[in-house]
Structure 1
């Protein structure tokens, strides 16, 4: 059955102006026209309009509705469900901040900053920020590949009802990822390493081996400055290339905020914050290198 636009408006309860708008925007399939140019609508258009009205009342945007023919109704509803879940997560975060703020006798600027930041930055924005961080820090394809492999670990999700400590850690993570100085320091400090040809598997084995050497010394209670620290330190130097001065310089130039980053990740995930085993190992190596200037590159290369 064919309908004029006026009759279709009467049947659906929509205005003529709205139906014409949906037609012009491509949300409603284009109708046939009479020889005089008048639009003629069918029962399919009527059903489609009712679907459009229902989806709009649910909050689905026009661009998504326009893609119905390509996606199918189930896909559109799945997209809308994800959008609703994202909105709910954002509202839950805001609720947690408001509760924590109202529990204080005298809320301050930091509380307003939390509310402002959480209002404009969610999980998707964190993901986009992390992508730009990886692009900016990566000076070589191998480094980018490694960072992409670490991406899931680098962007923790806030729990549904985060504590004030988790919120603060998450906001500090955002600040670190956005910090141009932090990005520059990481890029410059790792440039020499990633410029060398290497096999990632080989590097991972060497990294694990040097950490094991250092952690054995830590577990044995060997102070970094003790004579007993020299044999494991020499073995570590062999694994790291042998040049004590260059390695010590790299440690000295390392941005300590790198370790802080992983502490913040642990806090957001609800874990006990503290240095990782790798951080403990590198800290021991750094202090041992400083305590033993007598270790020459030659000695380090020839020790077994």
Structure 2
């Protein structure tokens, strides 16, 4: 049976798509040219009519011509999944912009600070956030694999997504957090102060996230139970809690336990950069979580207990 063919005019009549648009699609490569008459006129078939229907449907939902053009290399599901991710990213950006504008207008007459917030938050989408975190992990990691693995485990928690309807406080916290993570002095301080510890962990065989997380969870639960029971960090009742905590900390930091190990732990707490605490406080504000975080509360108690009971 002979293959039925259509002129461009007939194809336009059947599809309801103007001749000019069909010609544009052909020239753009989204409707590949299959044949021409001896006089040089384009000839189309049933498969082109079906392709036009698909192109129209994809264009109606906003799929770009470049993606449609790649349909020969990708199946339709892959194209639609790709477009869904694009739409979701755009939607998040629009929701963030709407929230920023709404919060700005609710505060009255916009100020220079409001304009700065609008500009910065408007520029920082998912790709920019990923680039920021890539730089932070690389700079603080300093080429030490164990430290880089630890930072990678924390990566998603470092800069939480803003809620759909953020408050002004959450917007400001997000902005401050982004600026803090981009601060070269903060990056250098974290890298320098943790170098000895992480290089020792690397020499010991690296960092095992599962071991670390299990020990830290047990430590936090134990210390918070003592806090809930009213055990003061400088009391005699704190000693056995501190002993058990030190045992868990040897799993995380390397041991063995003893006076020198505990003095090292105390020095670590004393040299802790307050900006690191602020970093996690800002993340808690963005997520809407209570502060201090359980880990922060537990380690604050441990620092006080070490100071009271370490000679």
The verdict on a shared fold, with TM-score over 0.5 as the criterion, is yes
Residues 1:70 and 2:73 are matched in the alignment? yes
Equivalent residue for 1:45, pick from 20, 44, 48: 48
> Is the aligned partner of 1:13 residue 2:40?
no
Tell me by how many angstroms 1:20 deviates. Answer: 5.5
Question: Which runs of 5 or more residues in structure 2 are unaligned?
Answer: none
Alignment map for 1:95-174 (pairs within 5 Å): 95-138=98-141, 139-174=143-178
Structure-1 residue corresponding to 2:299: 282
Pairwise CA distance, 1:13 = 0.8
1:206-285 alignment runs, 5 A limit: 206-208=215-217, 210-211=219-220, 214-215=223-224, 218-225=227-234, 229=238, 232-233=241-242, 236-237=245-246, 239-240=249-250, 241=255, 242=258, 243-272=261-290, 274-285=291-302
Describe the shift of the 1:30–1:134 C-alpha distance in structure 2 as closer, same or farther (beyond 3 A). farther
Q: How many residues align?
A: 291
Evaluate the alpha carbon distance shift between residue 5 and residue 177 of structure 1 in structure 2; reply closer, same or farther with a 3 A threshold: farther
Q: 1:5 to 1:184 in 2, by over 3 A?
A: farther
Q: Contact between 1:176 and 1:261, CA under 8 Å: does it hold in 2?
A: yes
Q: 2:277 aligns to what SS in structure 1?
A: helix
Match of 1:300 in 2: none
What's the CA shift for 1:236? 4.4
**Any idea what SS the aligned residue of 1:114 has?**
helix
Q: Which runs of 5+ in 1 are unaligned?
A: 295-304
Name the CA distance, whole Å, in 2 between partners of 1:109 and 1:204. 43
SS of corresponding position for 1:67: helix
Q: Deviations over 1:221-280 (max 9, x none)?
A: 4554556655544554564434344333322332222222222222222223x1122212
Stretch moving more, 96-105 or 203-212:
203-212
- Relative to 1, partners in 2 of residues 1:211 and 1:192: Cα closer, same or farther, differing over 3 Å? farther
| Partner Cα distance (2:303, 2:99) in 1 | 41
Aligned partners of 1:5, 1:212: CA distance in 2, in Å? 73
Q: SS state of the match for residue 41, structure 1? A: strand
Deviations along 1:191-242, one digit per CA (max 9) or x if unpaired, are 3333322554444454345545644554454554556655544554564434
2:159, 2:174 within 8 Å by CA — same for their partners in 1? no
* SS of the residue 2:73 aligns to: helix
* TM-score with structure 1 setting the length: 0.76
Query: Which of the numbers 93, 115, 119 marks the counterpart of 1:90?
Result: 93
Going from structure 1 to structure 2, the CA distance change for 1:142 and 1:32 (only over 3 Å counts) comes to farther
- The 3 A distance-change label for structure 1 pair 148 and 52 is same
Change (3 A) 1:203 1:85: closer
* Aligned counterparts of 2:154 and 2:96: Cα–Cα separation in 1: 25
Conservation of the 8 A alpha-carbon contact between 1:2 and 1:42 = yes
How large is the Cα RMSD of the aligned pairs?
3.4
